Structure 1
């Protein structure tokens, strides 16, 4: 069998890919491991010499790549080229099976349960985020998965069947056309689309094996037992099984106490069964960071216009909504039509990207927030409850950045000025 695995990173995440690749190949001698480098780079030389075979973004055949790189931010682009990358590897290397793993995964034992079902005729293998209900008011819960997706796409495995190719081709179109991280419109990059896959395609296997894709989102149902043979996963519904791979999503490698930035259900202090597992992984990534520091410092290159102006998410979304007005032009060219339009409409400003803020940084006691709340209160009294509800629905609509074009109705698009 001609088997391989792959992952996708931008240069700043290279140490994770190196750690993953080494772990996969130790468990699967004779396999190949590929890493797609998502950046505005064409020279693979800085990425050679590791435990993987680098593939540069321009090699995988994405049509109008620079347009896609403008539409999507770094997270979105890394996830949305996944099916194109997998199709490229299957065709170029005539693979029988291909496994995709997120870079923040570590492989502890061979993925035999995956290969067994693929060899038996499955077109693809998926793993659900969780297999046991949880309703405790903590994150992540079942409602979070309604937003982010039933299946975790840090892992997917496919065969070389015609059905798997149809699946990947369908997924590729959806990712490149509508792979936004946009919860208000029901989208979450590549992952949310996969909710539909078991219903649309034949022979898709949903694995409930507790040793596959263990992570912060399912540790309420799984525990680790250390044995002479390695790590075993304990689960109330099944006998202990080998830990095949752990997904360290949200990890902070410089802080020994953090389990994941994305959960408040557990800490490493409350889960001593995970302490050594996390300590060893963090040390491994830090060692790879020291070895890969030069390559990790290479620029992503799709985060600014050619004159250094930082590209905002608002600019990306307006470009995506009106891409037809800029066909055949380079959206990153500071002298091109989109850059001129974005600057004229104040969609971009300056060369220094502001610090990234999240809801954790939101202060409901800020005086400006209090003023907004008072304005909403006055609006309710002014228009009444029924029209106020309609107003809130409208705000929900325009809060999707692609719909902010309502403010650009008087804008002259490039061809209108000719």
Structure 2
């Protein structure tokens, strides 16, 4: 009897290669005989710097994107890495005639074979998703249930599919949404590839929501899961699954250079408050550090600047996405392209050094510039009255979405009715 053809994959840019190497080793140790594929998301065509590892390297231009440069201009590095996921999965299923394929985020480590996943697929599931949480949490800490309403019910650091018509339809639907509207844009209800999967169980048959507590343990569900170690390995205890083997842990938000950090994305627990996680995290951080490859990891991403070195900003990307049809048949990263000229003329880009991303932690409500804005808003309230002021606030909310700022960042030659509201 021929065994089913199963495989797994992940996606990284060169700077994240150590994570991919660590994941690959952990997965293949638990699934001997399977293959593991790594997609390199960068403006590179030569796979040789990524050869010599246990995984099979796939370059971005190989997976069948209609226009690699256009997608890379629309999206930042995180967005692009996540939004090519369904295209990559479809490519692997067809190219290698796979019966089952699991996508696994690079910052995951497999501790036991993913039997519950492949069993679900063998029993007829078209796809397998894992929910962020399986029990309520309402303690004023982050991530909260409200955060998950914002980011998505299911964590798309993991998805597995069986080769069948229904899963192909799911992947095709997901691919179209990711490539068209895969923005990290909370104000419009979008969060890269992940948020779309809220709809999958109701749109497609056979989508299994796997509530096994040993799968996708991570900072977001630590309130409901504890870990213990025995000679047989790690086990997870929860009210949902009882005591089960730890299948895979998702080290999202980890800082491998800091032995004290659990995750940058939570304030619910620290490593100091979770002694059950000490050895797990220490061993994982050491494994990632041991798998570093300075030469390969230093290779440029290549989609972060025009050919003359001018840094591409998020604002420029969003203006390109909004008006992509006006820049056809060109490489938008070419400094001589029509889009590059437009971006420079409209002051959407400036300089050759990328600015660090600002966060709310840096926001100072007492800054004199902020206070000046507050005074202007107070004047607007008095002038407009409460009802018109509410409409004004709705307008401001609209244009805080960068794609909508073409209302005043418009090429003077463009007709007003073609640039959005």
TM range (shorter): over 0.9
Alignment equivalent of 2:204, drawn from 186, 201, 204 = 201
Q: Does 1:412 align with 2:396?
A: no
Q: Does 1:179 align with 2:182?
A: yes
Deviation string 1:298-343 (CA, Å, 9 cap, x unpaired) is 0000000000000000000000000010011110110110000100
Residue in 1 that maps onto 2:219: 216
Alignment check: 8 A CA contact 2:151 2:195 kept: yes
Q: Show structure 1 runs of 5+ residues with no match.
A: none
| Partner Cα separation in structure 2 for residue 365 and residue 295 of structure 1 | 44
2:106 is paired with a residue whose SS is: coil
Residue in 2 that maps onto 1:60: 63
Moved more, 53-62 or 372-381: 372-381
Cα 1:156/1:410, change in 2 over 3 Å: closer
| Partner Cα separation in structure 1 for residue 391 and residue 81 of structure 2 | 37
Q: Does 1:390 align with 2:361?
A: no
Alignment check: 8 A CA contact 2:8 2:37 kept: yes
Moved more, 395-404 or 351-360: 351-360
Deviation string 1:94-130 (CA, Å, 9 cap, x unpaired) is 0010000000000000000001010111100000000
1:32-47 equivalence runs, <5 A? 32-47=35-50
1:12-411 equivalence runs, <5 A? 12-289=15-292, 292-409=293-410, 411=412
| Partner Cα separation in structure 2 for residue 148 and residue 141 of structure 1 | 11
RMSD, aligned CA: 1.1
Alignment check: 8 A CA contact 1:2 1:96 kept: yes
| Partner Cα separation in structure 2 for residue 403 and residue 113 of structure 1 | 44
Structure 1 length as normaliser, TM-score? Answer: 0.97
Q: How many residues align?
A: 413
Deviation at 1:191, TM superposition (A): 0.2
| Partner Cα separation in structure 2 for residue 413 and residue 107 of structure 1 | 53
Alignment check: 8 A CA contact 1:11 1:298 kept: yes
Residue in 1 that maps onto 2:5: 2
| Partner Cα separation in structure 1 for residue 13 and residue 27 of structure 2 | 19
Deviation at 1:236, TM superposition (A): 2.2
| Partner Cα separation in structure 2 for residue 238 and residue 304 of structure 1 | 48
1:334 is paired with a residue whose SS is: coil
1:46 is paired with a residue whose SS is: helix
2:224 is paired with a residue whose SS is: coil
| Partner Cα separation in structure 1 for residue 46 and residue 175 of structure 2 | 25
4+ residue stretches of structure 1 with deviation over 3 A? none
| Partner Cα separation in structure 2 for residue 233 and residue 357 of structure 1 | 37
| Partner Cα separation in structure 2 for residue 34 and residue 11 of structure 1 | 15
Alignment check: 8 A CA contact 2:9 2:36 kept: yes
Structure 2 length as normaliser, TM-score? Answer: 0.97
Deviation at 1:408, TM superposition (A): 3.0
